[in-house]
Amino acid sequence: MQTNEQLKDLAQLHDVAARFAADVVIIGAAALLRFVDLPHFTSEIDLAVALDLEDFFAFSTELRALGWRQEKDREHRWHGPNDSLFDLVPAGPKLRASGQIIWPESQFAMSLIGFDHLFTRSETISFGSGIPCKVAPPAVVALLKIVAFSENPFRRRKDLDHLKLLLRCYEEQSDRIFGDDVFAAELEDVEYAAAFLLGGDIGAFTTEEDSAIVNDFLKKQLMSTEDLAELDRDDPRQREAYRFQMQLAAFKTGFSVCGSRGNGSPSSSGGP
């Protein structure tokens, strides 16, 4: 749940973005909080702003005039007038087409692979006193976290932790857990239905580029049959490792089923 200070700053940022006709989408942990309970508090709100760099500079100038402050060493980090923390990622059409943003001062590169889905699949949710905000759904957030972790496994460990959470609890409160497709998948246990559904929902919209990253992630994370058989399920840590492997296997099954029906193409991205 966002604080009053965050909501005030968020409303102001949306007003500025509206003057640029730019969509703003809440992503990352702040987006997940609208759908699942996270085990830890997140102090910042990650936002994707549908602006290319030249327009983002003008957008930034207007924010500064309203009392927003940009951190010098981290160009994406902003402090709102009410001292809320925001990570702002410009993601206009040209930037998304290039697949990355390179910040001009630091030359730090951030991947934008999968960001098209933010603007075509976001859901509008009212925050606080009726502030309408676009929020990335869990399946899209999960894809972006797979991309982020794959590009830097050591630095992005938190993304893997969030993905593990989704593998456990995705759609757990819905009737989809007991759907015919879940039973047809012949999973080892119904507890892996969440992972199966997450894989299927991601597979339904991924492009070829997205799918290659997901499949490479699975290839690196999945253990061989021989190594899996070596795990001692009486040991708590190894039992948890086994559960994660079963979740990944269920995810792969769901992803493969939907992927075989045809993925989204890069040309279908659309959006602002």
pLDDT tens-digit profile of 9-52? 999 999 999 999 999 999 999 999 888 877 665 678 999 999 99
- Identify the architecture of domain 4-136 in CATH: 2-Layer Sandwich (3.30)
Residues 45-60 have pLDDT tens digits of 999 999 999 999 999 9
Confirm if 163 and 142 have CB atoms less than 8 A apart.
Answer: yes
User: In DSSP terms, which residues pair with 101 in a beta bridge?
Assistant: 110
What whole-number percentage of the chain has pLDDT above 70?
Answer: 92
In the block, residue with structure tokens 């759907």: 179
Q: Which backbone phi and psi does 24 adopt, to 5 degrees?
A: -125, 130
Report the SS3 class of residue 101: strand
Residues 63-110 have pLDDT tens digits of 999 999 999 889 999 999 999 999 999 999 999 999 999 999 889 899
> Is this model's pTM higher than 0.85 or not?
yes
Residues 186-211 have pLDDT tens digits of 999 999 999 999 999 999 999 999 99
Interhelix angle 138-151/193-203, nearest 10 degrees: 80
Report pLDDT for 40: 66
Distance CA 94, CA 101 (A): 10
Q: Which helix (H) or strand (E) holds 23?
A: none
How does 116-146 read in b/e, with b if 16+ C-beta sit within 10 Å?
Answer: bbbbeebeeeebeeeeebbbbbbbbbbbbbb
Q: Where in the chain are all domains bearing CATH 3.30.460?
A: 4-136
- Structure token pair of residue 237: 């840590």
Report pLDDT for 242: 95
Confirm if 48 and 87 have CB atoms less than 8 A apart.
Answer: no
Q: With a cut of 80, say whether residue 246 has pLDDT above it.
A: yes
Q: How confident is the model at residue 241 (pLDDT cuts 50, 70, 90)?
A: very high
Distance CA 207, CA 223 (A): 26
Residues 208-230 have pLDDT tens digits of 999 999 999 999 999 999 999 99
Report the SS3 class of residue 38: coil
Q: What is the dihedral of CA 209, 211, 215, 218, to 10 degrees?
A: 110
Look up residue 182 and give its amino acid: V
